[in-house]
Chain A
């Protein structure tokens, strides 16, 4: 998959806020409501959202999600441009003609629940790398590079199988254009969140049952910081890893230090 689109953004938010926003998918039917036609979007918003599977391995984690828009059940569910180009937020609808990407050919780590409605898996490699696989046969990566406590550089890279003709090329074009449109919305919510955090009015953030990866990220980061400050020389990484348990309770992190500036 060598057809490559690369994006970069300087985001006025702590690096972990961006990971928070991407490691759950329940935001999509609400924040990106306009991805679907109005009637369908309203149906999706009412339906609610629950991911298909989660896993945690050491400092790292993954979440598996459904994504039923590639192709949609009914062509009228999607926008006119998507109807012509057979593509959208979930990528080109037509799988590339290569081995290994059909549902029953995928390796066991992808779509671990083997759900028929599977759409995407997001693997979070602590601290700052994400690998995201999409059912129609493409993937993307995210890198987060902190530049200040409230700033980071966000990099995203999309990879497709090289298109054989213009039809496939424009299908990928729409997926890439769509990615950028929604990344703008994602980035803006983070900057708003950071502005709110900077006021220090709110310092406790309840996390819901679906936010397993967020809990794990903050607990892991907290363990590394504690290990560093605990022995004063920054050599506490392995110690921190050893302390990690399967599911951290994020609320415990707010008691001694300012969680907003970990």
Chain B
């Protein structure tokens, strides 16, 4: 059964990135290879504008159906992998040594 709206069936192969919290998205980023993230980035960046247009034309941020919510979470993962792909060329932040910062509170869609 598909997880995303029918209009985004081309992104269905990335639904393991439909993660609601930053903690989950960050952990998946660190556990992924650059090739895996490049695939998500390429496909997701091409549809990011469409994702915003689709959701904003239909639903408010509060109370959207599960398939639209999964689409939003996928969009958030595209944002998450943009740094490894566009900037660092590695999953971890460059020049960050042993430092670690944790997001402990966030608005979850």
Contact = CB atoms under 8 A, between A and B. Distances in A.
Interface stretch (B8-16, B32-40, B91-99): B91-99
Interface residues of A, number: 41
A190 B97 CA distance: 11
Given A3-B107, A187-B99, A81 B45 contact: yes
A9 B79 contact: no
B87 interface: yes
A151 interface: no
A166 to B, nearest CB: 4
A79 B22 CA distance: 21
B106 A176 contact: yes
B99 A11 contact: yes
A55 interface: no
Interface string A170-196: 100110111011011101111110000
Interface string A71-84: 00000000111001
Contacts of B75: 166, 170
A52 interface: no
Contacts of B106: 4-6, 176
Interface in B71-109: 72, 75-76, 78-80, 82-83, 86-88, 93-107, 109
Contacts of A6: 103-106
B49, B95, B103 — most chain A CB neighbours (10 Å): B103
Given A166-B55, A181-B93, A191 B98 contact: yes
A177 B86 contact: no
A67 interface: no
A231 interface: no
A8 interface: yes
B6 interface: no
Contact of B56 (A11, A81, A167, A173): A167
A163 B107 CA distance: 10
A116 B104 CA distance: 35
A7 B72 CA distance: 22
B61 A183 contact: no
Contact of A34 (B48, B76, B80, B94): B94
Interface in A71-130: 79-81, 84-85
A80 B45 contact: yes
A169 interface: yes
B91 to A, nearest CB: 12
Given A80-B86, A169-B109, A184-B93, A7 B79 contact: no
B79 A170 contact: yes
Interface of B: 22, 45, 48-49, 51-52, 55-56, 60-61, 72, 75-76, 78-80, 82-83, 86-88, 93-107, 109
Interface of A: 3-12, 34-35, 79-81, 84-85, 154, 163-167, 169-170, 173-174, 176-178, 180-181, 183-185, 187-192
Given A80-B45, A170-B48, A178-B83, 14 more contacts: A3-B107, A6-B103, A7-B104, A8-B101, A9-B100, A79-B86, A84-B49, A165-B61, A174-B79, A184-B93, A185-B93, A185-B96, A188-B95, A188-B98
15 contacts: A7-B102, A9-B100, A34-B87, A79-B82, A81-B78, A84-B48, A170-B75, A177-B79, A181-B87, A184-B93, A185-B93, A188-B98, A188-B99, A189-B95, A191-B99
